[in-house]
Amino acid sequence: MDWSLILGIIITIITAFTVGMFYGGISRKVTARIQNRVGPPIWQNFLDVLKLYSKESAIHHGWMQHLGPLWAITASTATLMFVPILNNGQFYENLNFSGDLIFLIYMMVLGQLGMALGAGQTGNPNSAIGVSRGLSQMVGYKVPWLLALVAIMIQFKVTSITGILELQNEIGWLMFASPFAFIAGLLAFIGMMHYAPFDIVFAPSELASGPPSEFGGKYLGLMMTSGAIFTFAKLVLFVDIFLGGASNILELLLKTFVIYMIPVLYGIVSPRYRTEQSIRYFWGWPTFFGVIGMLYAWYMIA
């Protein structure tokens, strides 16, 4: 038994959880400051999760409802395992070499699917609306996201993330080597973070928080944990692909924080879209840039 593997998994998860939680707290603080409030302390999300885990949970709607949050957290930790945290293998390797971008694209959908199934069984109409909105929105932002990734795969003939990281050691950040794909990817990424104006899935005022509306106590705690881990995984993946990864933790935090602040700041000043507006947005400029990125890639290899 390889103990360092297990140690690596544990440390990776703890890092992801902590960073994701702190980022959530910082975003709440930033929102508060922009609204001229004092705001909660930045460790507020830890207290929330701790409290949620300390609650009793007596909700039963069927076994899929119990499995939904577990499925979500499994999917987000699994995604995390395949993303290299630092480049050149300086962090624990976990399962970095086993997967590639195409696999990750599937993996990132899995968590949402689990949530959708779990929320579907609660029988709450708000959950059902939230799920249908979430899946339609996913169809929206997956198009530019896939176009961006496929453009990179075509241009550099590489599908593994470690391969992309090594490539960037030689030619610099992909953000400059493949700028149109970067723009498309960034715009799609804003949607993936589910901050306003793309928070149509969890809209608290109109949908009563959507899919999690029947989940309280420990289930909600699990969902928050999974959300924090998944946020971190997504951020690191984005940094790995476009921003050349990071060679130490500080650099990683800096880069991920900058990327994280884009959707947060954009969200604070935006109202919420409707579902079809959101989809139309993603099929507009982001998809356009994605297509340009493909043409650019084709031009570069020709």
Partner 1 sequence: MNINPKIDKKDSLTISEYIKNFARKHSLFVLAYGTGCGAIEIPPTMTSRYDAERFGIRGAATPRQADVLLITGYLATKTLKRVIRVYEQMQDPKYVIGFGSCTINGGMYWDSYNTINSLDKYIPVDVFINGCMPRPEAVISGFVKLQEYIQEGKADGWLKYQNNIEEYRANQKRVIKNWRMPDYNW
Residue 32 contacts partner 1 per CB under 8 A = yes
Nearest CB to partner 1, comparing residues 4 and 60: 60
Lookup result for tokens 């609650």: 55
Residue 280 contacts partner 1 per CB under 8 A = no
Nearest CB to partner 1, comparing residues 27 and 178: 27
Dist CA 194 CA 116 (whole Å)? 15
Residues 6+ apart with CB under 8 A from 46: 21, 25
Nearest CB to partner 1, comparing residues 25 and 245: 25
Q: What is the DSSP string of 224-267?
A: HHHHHHHHHHHHHHHHHHHS---SSHHHHHHHHHHHHHHHHHHH
Lookup result for tokens 């830890």: 46
Select the residue interacting with partner 1 from 30, 39, 103, 110 (CB under 8 A).
39
Select the residue interacting with partner 1 from 7, 47, 171, 295 (CB under 8 A).
47
Select the residue interacting with partner 1 from 2, 3, 4, 35 (CB under 8 A).
35
* Token pair recorded at residue 56: 């009793």
Select the residue interacting with partner 1 from 60, 269, 271, 302 (CB under 8 A).
60
Dist CA 4 CA 268 (whole Å)? 42
Instruction: Report the site for partner 1 in 120-179 (rule: CB under 8 A).
Output: 126
* Token pair recorded at residue 2: 């390889």
Q: What's the min distance (Å) between Cβ of 57 and partner 1?
A: 6
Residue 89 DSSP label: G
Residue 59 contacts partner 1 per CB under 8 A = yes
Residue 204 contacts partner 1 per CB under 8 A = yes
Residue 33 contacts partner 1 per CB under 8 A = no
Q: Are 59 and 43 in contact (CB under 8 A)?
A: no
Select the residue interacting with partner 1 from 54, 169, 248, 277 (CB under 8 A).
54
Q: What's the min distance (Å) between Cβ of 192 and partner 1?
A: 22
Q: Are 247 and 90 in contact (CB under 8 A)?
A: yes
CA distances from 289 to 58, 134, 151, 221, 254 (A): 48, 23, 11, 38, 26
Using alpha carbons, select from 97, 190, 98, 184 the residue that is nearest to residue 146: 184
Overall size of the chain counted in residues: 302
Q: What's the min distance (Å) between Cβ of 274 and partner 1?
A: 19
Q: What's the min distance (Å) between Cβ of 8 and partner 1?
A: 29
Residue 240 contacts partner 1 per CB under 8 A = no
Q: What's the min distance (Å) between Cβ of 56 and partner 1?
A: 4
Q: Are 210 and 134 in contact (CB under 8 A)?
A: yes
The span of 97-105, 151-159, 207-215, 252-260 binding partner 1 (CB under 8 A) equals 207-215
Q: What's the min distance (Å) between Cβ of 179 and partner 1?
A: 40
Residue 58 contacts partner 1 per CB under 8 A = yes
Using alpha carbons, select from 232, 240, 136, 150 the residue that is nearest to residue 193: 232
Q: Are 145 and 287 in contact (CB under 8 A)?
A: no
Select the residue interacting with partner 1 from 1, 2, 3, 56 (CB under 8 A).
56
Interface ranges with partner 1 (CB under 8 A): 28, 32, 35-40, 44, 47-48, 50-51, 54-60, 126, 204-205, 207-209, 212-217, 220
